[in-house]
Amino acid sequence: MKNTLTPTCLFLALVLMCMGCSTKAPLNTASEAAPNPVQYFHVDPATAGEVTGKVSYAGPKPTPKKIDMSEDPACVSAHHGKAVDESLLVGPNHSLANAFVYIKSGLEGKTFEVPVTPVVIDQSGCWFHPRILGVQTNQVVKIVNSDPVTHNIHPMAEINREWNHSQGPGDPALTRKFIKPEIMIPVKCNIHSWMRAYIGVLDHPYFAVSKDDGTFQIPNLPPGTYTLAIWQERLGTQERQITVAPGQHAVADFTFKGK
């Protein structure tokens, strides 16, 4: 029998052949708009200012409390048995060291480059050094152990991820990052209960720690009005408004009353 196609079948066959020969061009993803690069804020050196000040302690100078390190003879030896609590360091002129000072508000809408130099925490003499430190978000924190004993560094973050890691004598340095602002993250050693540190994480570089004489300096600050905050691990937090004029510096002294 002769196999003939009806007009309808012939039409459908032609349609299918055309569909098979015609292919859709793939989406040109390269032509899609690329995300805009991050625009970092850079301070104009001609208008940059600074904040300076001094932190003082009002009241009788506290008697340092002796720390019992007898559970680890190597720690006792490092301090010759004379280690004292460093949570409240008051100097001879009632200066207050280890207070964390930072710009709390006033920098909104500005994005700052992350420093390439790591911040270092050293476990030395069965202490964390420094005890109080600041770091920018995503800046590398490098942890080293200079002691002949094993330590365990345990930042007890609430906004960032909490972690803890043991580090023996001679172990390689650890590197970590904190990706969100958080004031302040307490740090402890799970092996030596007296070891304490605190980390202030900010998304900008405008912070400082008061020195032994109570002074601090926050340089290269763009002109503006800010909330300046100060934190001390035993005495709490204070805040005040400051205005930094172009090319000038503001002075902000703080006094904490003894508890």
Distance CA 215, CA 162 (A): 32
pLDDT at 34: 64
Pairing of strands 215-221, 119-124: unpaired
- pLDDT reading at 28 higher than 90: no
The predicted structure's pLDDT at residue 17: 53
Res. 108: pLDDT tops 90: yes
Residue 83 gets which letter from DSSP?
A: -
**pLDDT digit string (tens) for 224-249?**
999 999 999 999 999 999 999 999 99
Are 65 and 84 a contacting pair, CB within 8 Å?
yes
6 pLDDT tier (thresholds 50, 70, 90)? low
Burial of 214 by CB count in 10 Å (0-12 exposed, 13-18 middle, 19+ buried)? Answer: buried
Output the pLDDT for position 79. Answer: 87
Write the DSSP string, 19-53.
HHH--PPPP-GGGSPPPPPP------TTT-EEEEE
Structure tokens at 156: 């007890």
Q: Could you tell me how far CA 145 lies from the centroid of its own chain?
A: 20
- In this predicted structure, what is the pLDDT of residue 21? 45
Nearest to 119 by CA among 110, 111, 130, 127: 130
Does the structure show a pLDDT above 80 at 97? yes
Tell me the pLDDT of the chain averaged across its residues: 89
Q: Which whole-number Å values give the CA distances from 138 to 13, 119, 165, in the listed order? A: 62, 11, 19
Q: Tens digit of pLDDT for each residue in 159-187?
A: 999 999 999 999 999 999 999 999 999 99
Enumerate residues 6+ apart whose C-beta is below 8 A from 100.
132, 134, 183, 184, 198, 200, 207, 208, 209, 230, 231, 232
Would the CA dihedral through 41, 45, 47, 48 be positive or negative? positive
Token pair listed for 163: 């972690």
Report residue 7: phi and psi, to 5°: -55, -40
Mean pLDDT value of segment 7-26: 48
How many whole angstroms separate alpha carbon 106 and alpha carbon 120?
28
User: How far from chain centre, in Å, is Cα 233?
Assistant: 17
pTM (2 decimals)?
A: 0.85
